[in-house]
Chains A and B, each alone.
Chain A
Amino acid sequence: MADATSTQPQFDIGTVIEGNLFDLLGLTSLPEEQQDALRLTIMESIRDRVLLRIVKQLQPDQETEWLGLLDRDAPQAELEAYLAQAGVNVSSLVAEEALQYKIELAQRLGLVTEDA
């Protein structure tokens, strides 16, 4: 997949979900360091999406309060505890956004078969 041709292989959604993302994207031939850098970029994207999801899940007053804690440089544990008591499960958001990111990226690159 990493060859120089422009032919774009396609996969069904199951393969996209279960497959190695870098295999699907044809990035396995990259040096490990570059792959690592891309992974970190992907993680940053997911992180940013999770941040948006967090505040969307908070009620307006909760959002104000939580961001207030942030502004006051509250400890990590306090920030986490607030989200937990507000019913925001960051772990779930991370998992969800990671999966969505993967699918979105695959769709964006036309890797998902149309008739799958």
Chain B
Amino acid sequence: MARRLNETPPPGPAAGAPPIPGAEHIRQERTPAERAYDAIRELSERDKAFVQKEFGDGRFWKLKAFMEGTAWRDVGRAENPQPQTWLGRMYQGLREWSWNQGGQRPYQAAAVRDREMRELGEDATFLRMTTGTNGASLRRWIKTGAKIVGGAGAMAAGMMLTGGLTTVIGTPIFVAGLRELADGGVGILQAGWNVAGNWLKRRWEAQDASRAGTPGYDPTGRPNPDLGSMNPLQRSWEGKKAFWRNFVEKTTLEDEGLLRTYITNDVRDLKRLAEAPGLPAGAREASIARIIANMRENEAQLQEIRDHNLTVRRFYKFGRNFVSTIASVGGAVLQGVPLGFNDSWVSQGIGYGPGANPFAQMLLGASRWLGGAGSLAYLAARWTEFSHQGLEQHYGDSAKDWIANLKPEHENTRERVSGERTVVEQYLEELRDITLPGTRNLQKTGEYFRTLENEAASLGAMEPACHLVVTITGGTQIKEALESYAKQKTETGAPINWKEVEFLIFNDADANPAQLAKTIASIKKAAPSIQFRIVNAVSFEDGTSEENKRSTRQRYLDDLALMRSIKRPQRIQKPVYVVNGVSEGIHDEHFLGSILKRIDEKNPPAVLTGANHEIRGVNALYRGFFPAINDLENYLEGDWTTLRDNNYSAFRAMNYARIGGPRGAREDIVQSILEDVADTQERRTPTVSEKQKYLTKELTSLYRWYALYPSFREYRGDKAKFEADVLRKPRMNAPSPITDEQILHGEGRASFVRWMETGFGLVEGTHYYIRDNTRDIYLNIDPAGANWPVIEAAFSGRGRVK
């Protein structure tokens, strides 16, 4: 890599070039760009020299190879936009987010900051920058009011700002901090803090401005002392009392666990969106911005909880060390152990008791006080150290949890980035285990999707240009319908480009196969490029009525169309629309042409929401997504009675989202649906009960998790592991055990899916435990006749079940 740099001349006149007459003085100073170039090279040479000196040449090259992995040298290169190693991806992320992003994409800056802070194991509002020591910046930095995570000295300075304790221990701590500075400058202030502090201050002022007048904040944007959400140490006394009451009455652990889960999910979403190839830029950015907004909101709440917990630690340690300090000071005074003096020397040289030298007595008293002050300073320093350790431990634990939670996503990312298989293709394996209750005779695990795959393959590859599928479920007038379709024209009267259209025709007795074949042969003679696909008949048991039968066939053809689309070897840019092809004949010769035109108008399908509903105006149905979202919204709005009817389509929407649509937009479709769900949840007014609210929140979270993170794949075929890791036997207060019939019916993945389905179906009197990375979900379907399930969180290791 460095060799490549050496081949590149520095900016400015080439070395050895003759000076421009009369302009020699210009070259006496380097331009800013040249200075930057020089500085980068100097740092590079210096760093390299350090490393080579440290390790020697032999090890250096091996270490370099280790760091570079297999794709380091290609990081950031256009021909390799997706680095193959985790380290490469890290650099890629830094390059794209930290270095290449500009003001037009501020959320990416937020993203990288959040990510970096999280990976550093620190709270996102803290920064750690250690590039030297600058004692002169102490006072300026203190004025900023910035919170700090740093060395013990930095902690001491920070404590002086947090209020309450300053008067008592501020000075000794400051002294202790200076002592540290004198001892080598371990962290009282690290260079950059002065400017970083001001930067943070401005950020927080802007935050205050944005909060002005909102609940919990006063008209200036400052936290309401009694209702505010900032560090309780900064509140009024009444506010502090309210905080303590709140703290005593309500444990924050549950909230923290939930928030962590949400944030973790958001981070995962974010990373997936950021790393998923082929997304339309606008859709990706909009989704990222939205996720980050959610994440920040959750993180703000989490910070509040952390502040609360941290306050407890501080007060506890303060109390403990304050008592120790008093005891030590008292002990020092009583025992007469002054600094620099020796009692025996004092008693021999100066004397005790009557007749003793009064000056000596005065010195002795002064020395005792000095000793006390020294002890106080020492203990105060120890106190800050303890506090700092507590802080480190606190945030360190959080960071570990976070990283642990992120691990499955890292694994998934690695697999996705390094492998040739797309996300959809991975999902297909998952989907094989999903039972679709709408096709009851096909509901054996995976059979439905295998059927789809087999049928899609048997029909031959879909044309790369195809983005309109006309599905025909059968009917007595199919001949007339097909002949009418064959005569279709564009809106300008030009012939239809039949490579863009495919007809999927369900071949059953009603369609009169012999007549159908004859009709198709006749049409193909006139229009050879028109694409008919005769779909082998499968039987369904969804109902006996004609309406039900056609509806089920229609769903099957929809699924088949989507399956064929995603099985195409080439990615397509346009969406695939599935049109319910009426078999009674088409009277408007521009029917297909108008749809194709609208698809073009809507392309690329950055947002598959409201605007595309217009397509319906021409009798086209974008099946699956929108009705399902509506169903889900109904559910989330509390329309419980329709849940059983709607859970199928809700699940189906997720499945469609995962397999359907053009490859380039699939993640966006998922995200779009999830955001719709989230929007619905936000808009929802909890009216029925807190339990319903809780259930909605939990299930939505699980829904997201289920839809996006098929980490349960690892359990396939390993029932014991699934049971051990995911499902727990009921605890003592759960009256009925989990049985294979209830949950563990089949392989792990299918079992969980079944739980999700039955969870929506709600088997009364059944108790389930589901555990994800951060908590146990305890689901108790109330057998006492109430329709509402109770779903409560019990956090791992806490042993808390309501």
Binding site for B on A (CB under 8 A): 1-9, 12-14, 17-23, 25-27, 29-30, 33-34, 36-52, 55, 67, 70-71, 73, 76, 79, 89-92, 94-96, 98-105, 107-109, 112-113, 116
Contact = CB atoms under 8 A, between A and B. Distances in A.
Given A105-B36, A108-B43, 12 more contacts: A2-B31, A7-B32, A12-B195, A20-B99, A37-B4, A47-B64, A51-B51, A51-B55, A91-B87, A101-B43, A104-B43, A105-B39
A41 B87 contact: no
Contacts of B195: 12-13, 112-113, 116
B101 interface: yes
Given A89-B403, A109-B32, A20 B100 contact: yes
Contacts of A17: 109, 113, 199
B202 interface: yes
A50 to B, nearest CB: 7
Interface stretch (B115-123, B342-350, B353-361): B115-123
A13 B192 contact: yes
Nearest to B26: A4
B44 A44 contact: yes
B29 A6 contact: yes
A76 B8 contact: no
Nearest to B98: A98
A109 B55 contact: no
A48 B403 contact: no
A112 B134 CA distance: 15
Contacts of A52: 50-51, 54
A34 B8 contact: yes
Given A4-B26, A41-B40, A100-B130, A21 B99 contact: yes
Contact of A13 (B99, B106, B198): B198
A26 to B, nearest CB: 4
B214 to A, nearest CB: 23
Interface string B473-504: 00000000000000000000000000000000
A76 B69 contact: yes
B598 interface: no
Contacts of B352: none
A13 B113 CA distance: 13
B571 interface: no
B32 A43 contact: no
B293 interface: no
Contact of A40 (B4, B39, B101): B4
Contacts of B800: none
Contacts of A40: 1-2, 4-5, 75-76
A41 B41 contact: yes
Contacts of B241: none
B99 A39 contact: yes
Contact of B116 (A14, A70, A95): A95
Contacts, number: 196
A25 B51 CA distance: 26
21 contacts: A4-B31, A17-B109, A17-B199, A21-B98, A21-B99, A34-B11, A37-B8, A41-B5, A43-B1, A44-B48, A45-B47, A49-B47, A67-B59, A90-B87, A91-B86, A92-B121, A95-B119, A100-B130, A102-B98, A102-B99, A116-B199
Contact of A44 (B2, B101, B191): B2
A13 to B, nearest CB: 4
Contact of B128 (A55, A79, A90, A96): A96
Interface stretch (B89-97, B640-648, B693-701, B788-796): B89-97
B312 interface: no
B102 A30 contact: no
Contacts of B192: 13, 103, 107
A95 B94 contact: yes
B521 interface: no
Nearest to A15: B199
The 6 closest A-B pairs by CB, nearest first: A25-B36, A48-B47, A18-B109, A13-B195, A14-B199, A116-B195
B33 interface: yes
A18 B192 CA distance: 15
Contacts of A47: 64, 67-68, 72
B55 A38 contact: no
A37 B94 contact: no
B37 interface: yes
B77 interface: yes
Contacts of B756: none
Given A17-B113, A100-B131, A36 B77 contact: yes
A108 B39 contact: yes
Nearest to B46: A45
Contacts of A112: 195
Contacts of B50: 48, 52
Nearest to B93: A95
B62 interface: yes
A84 B377 CA distance: 39
A76 B128 CA distance: 30
Of residues B37, B40, B103, B194, which shows the largest number of chain A Cβ atoms within 10 Å of its Cβ? Answer: B40
Contacts of B70: 76
Interface string B49-79: 0110011000100111011111010011100
Given A34-B11, A39-B76, A29 B33 contact: yes
A89 B115 CA distance: 14
Contacts of A6: 29-32
Of residues A5, A12, A41, A55, which shows the largest number of chain B Cβ atoms within 10 Å of its Cβ? Answer: A41
B66 A14 contact: no
Contact of A95 (B54, B90, B103, B129): B90
A75 B50 CA distance: 25
Nearest to A19: B102
B721 interface: no
A110 to B, nearest CB: 9
A30 B5 contact: no
A92 B119 contact: yes
Given A22-B99, A96-B128, A2 B32 contact: yes
B275 to A, nearest CB: 14
B483 to A, nearest CB: 57
A63 to B, nearest CB: 11
Contacts of B115: 95
B203 interface: yes
A41 B69 contact: no
Nearest to B101: A20
Contact of B33 (A2, A7, A55): A2
Contacts of B32: 1-3, 6-9, 25-26, 109
B597 interface: no
B731 interface: no
A94 B99 contact: no
Given A34-B11, A48-B47, A89-B119, A20 B102 contact: yes
A111 B129 CA distance: 16
A36 B76 contact: yes
Nearest to B75: A43
A48 to B, nearest CB: 4
